[in-house]
Amino acid sequence: MLLKLPYIDPVDFASALTGEYGFTSQEVWNAHQINLPEVSGVGSLLLFVRKDIHFFRGKWTFKNPTAFLSPDEVGKNNVIDLRISSDGIIDSAALKGQDKFQYDITDVDGMRLFIPERYLPGDRRKIAATLDYFCLNPHVSELFRQLFYIDYEALGNSILVESKMLEFLHLFVDFLKKVDNRVAYGELSQRQLACLKMAKELIDQQTPATVSINELSRKLGINECDLKSGFRKLFGLPIHQYVIKTRLERARELIIHTDTPIQHICDQVGYTNRGHFAQLYLKVYGVTPLNDRQRAIRSVTR
């Protein structure tokens, strides 16, 4: 199936879905929820329309292979499109100089944002070059994790989704305004960038094992000073703090989603002192591990 739709104007986009392809639409708090017809598949999208920006969060699966094609010119009305997938990858037809909007949309879990170009500092090519670096920032990764974790169809959750998407816009525009960030990345060679990305992958793979900066330096063939300063530039945190963050995130997943004893979880993520672990957990998440588990259990049994 092929959906030929306007893309830049949200009103025309929604009207074409409901008028030509049998989608249904309903108002939900601060957005319009547009649902796939049962004959075509399952899923929906939440469409948020503001004065001069609009965005939507959608998740759907069509029963048959489905493509999207828009007659709209890429960059029409000087609007920049951003496509974000649930694995945290950002793409943009306008920023990357693509000549048309054409995608496979059979199975989608993502966000789409449409922003006037005047709000984005810098020319398109420079902005496009920063997309990958922006996604690597752990604060952005955490925001994506929170956003895609939200059940956006649940009553009232559209307000939470909107707040998170606006937070993303704020972080993105703020990132682009900080020219020194782009200069800092420009000072890193392609080899250094590759080494730093590999360092992050090794840390992620080795948790809960103790990660030695000296060992990382020897494995990757990069001196310790460049490793420490480059890691902080690229990922926004010193290596030691990133290790703590990674351990705590893994611990929280186990605490909330399993019944594994908390002492065992401490051991699994590399903490032998449960009291120290609980203090770190409370500092980061504002709740103790035990209370976090109890809260998760209550939310499931309601």
pLDDT at residue number 114: 97
- Cis check: omega of the bond before 208, within 30 degrees of 0: yes
Position with higher pLDDT, 198 vs 15? 15
Strands 102-104 and 107-116: unpaired
pLDDT at residue number 132: 74
Position with higher pLDDT, 84 vs 207? 84
Q: What percent of the chain has pLDDT over 90?
A: 52
How many contiguous H segments (helices) and E segments (strands) does the chain have? 12, 10
Separation in Å, CA 136 to CA 36, 201, 234, 264? 33, 12, 7, 30
The answer to whether residue 144 scores a pLDDT higher than 70 is: yes
Q: Which residues lie closer than 8 Å to 290 by C-beta, 6 or more apart?
A: 262
Q: Where are the domains of the chain?
A: 2-179, 188-236, 243-301
pLDDT at residue number 7: 96
Q: Which residues lie closer than 8 Å to 29 by C-beta, 6 or more apart?
A: 156, 158, 159
The answer to whether residue 147 scores a pLDDT higher than 80 is: yes
Q: pTM, whole model, 2 decimals?
A: 0.68
pLDDT at residue number 208: 63
Burial 75-108 (b: 16+ CB within 10 A, else e): bbeebbbbbbeeeeebbbbbbeeeeebebebbeb
CATH fold of 243-301 reads Arc Repressor Mutant, subunit A (1.10.10)
For residue 41 the two structure tokens come to: 């598949």
Mean pLDDT rounded to a whole number for the chain: 88
Give CA–CA dist 37/23, Å, rounded.
5
For residue 129 the two structure tokens come to: 């070059």
Confidence of residue 209 (pLDDT cuts 50, 70, 90): low
Give CA–CA dist 135/301, Å, rounded.
35
Confidence of residue 174 (pLDDT cuts 50, 70, 90): confident
Nearest Cα to Cα of residue 197 among 216, 210, 184, 212 = 216
Could you tell me the maximum CA-CA distance found in the chain, to the nearest angstrom? 62
The answer to whether residue 19 scores a pLDDT higher than 70 is: yes
The answer to whether residue 183 scores a pLDDT higher than 50 is: no
